[in-house]
Amino acid sequence: DTGVSQNPRHKITKRGQNVTFRCDPISEHNRLYWYRQTLGQGPEFLTYFQNEAQLEKSRLLSDRFSAERPKGSFSTLEIQRTEQGDSAMYLCASSLVLGQPGNQPQHFGDGTRLSIL
């Protein structure tokens, strides 16, 4: 399967713990995006990378959140000192951007569902 892969699929943790998610994009894709989706809502943008450079971060991405894409391939999203409100599905997507960025479909993984107890 050469699609976007996310691990783990589910994560249950206690409030105050740190969690880390991993995303492996489609191998030739240069852009990688993180979104958060809560029940009954559409995905909300968190951040994106062009190769290894993090080019934009949403205001939703508080200082407890950090994302990396060290070699321009896989990415990790870490949440420190988790709170109840962090419970959501965290989606990763990738795309190949050669020209106009907005004109490319994004390929999504199946997400990591985070539950904070």
Partner 1 sequence: SQQGEEDPQALSIQEGENATMNCSYKTSINNLQWYRQNSGRGLVHLILIRSNEREKHSGRLRVTLDTSKKSSSLLITASRAADTASYFCATDAEDGGSQGNLIFGKGTKLSVKP
Q: Using the minimum distance from each CB to partner 1, give the nearer residue, 37 or 80.
A: 37
Tell me if 13 contacts partner 1 by CB under 8 A.
no
Answer whether 44's CB lies under 8 Å from 58's CB.
yes
Give the Cα separation of 116 and 36 in Å (integer).
15
Of residues 57 through 116, those in contact with partner 1 by CB under 8 A are 91, 93, 95, 97, 100-111, 113
Instruction: For the CB of residue 58, give the shortest distance to partner 1 in the complex, in Å.
Output: 8
Of residues 27 through 46, those in contact with partner 1 by CB under 8 A are 31, 33, 40-45
Contacts of 106 (CB under 8 A, 6+ apart): 33, 93, 94, 95
Q: Using the minimum distance from each CB to partner 1, give the nearer residue, 26 or 80.
A: 26
Place of tokens 């569902």: 113
Contacts of 11 (CB under 8 A, 6+ apart): 19, 21, 112, 113, 114, 115
Which residues are near partner 1 by CB under 8 A? 4, 6, 31, 33, 40-45, 48, 55-56, 91, 93, 95, 97, 100-111, 113
